[in-house]
Amino acid sequence: MNRLAMATRFVMHNMPLGASHVAPLVGADEAYDVSAYMVSKPRPEKSNLEADFPARWNKPVDAAFPPYLLGASPDQHKYGPFAPLAERQKQLADKIRGDAAARSAAGR
């Protein structure tokens, strides 16, 4: 629940008691506000975070822990907006795939 996008989805579809994905009882804005509040609270520091995503280009854009690959601030990774980060991540992934394809073709 330390990622805002996932927490927002969970809150919207599971809270309050009786809500479901078919019949949410809170709107997206309310779920975002509750989730942002939860994410803003101090959490225990997990060690060895740099090993969590060895393929940095594949790290979720709302993962608010370093290292940050996309050049955005920690607050943007934590609270958004996420669309520009997702676009930069897609461009980076495409570049990495293109570079890998070029290396593969050169090695033939």
In terms of Cβ atoms closer than 10 Å to its own Cβ (0-12, 13-18, 19+), residue 5 is middle
How far is it, in rounded angstroms, from Cα 2 to Cα 34? 13
Residue 73 in this model has a pLDDT that exceeds 90: no
Answer for the pair 72, 85: CB distance below 8 angstroms, yes or no: yes
Entry pTM: 0.68
Residue 71 in this model has a pLDDT that exceeds 70: yes
How far is it, in rounded angstroms, from Cα 75 to Cα 85? 12
Residue 32 in this model has a pLDDT that exceeds 90: yes
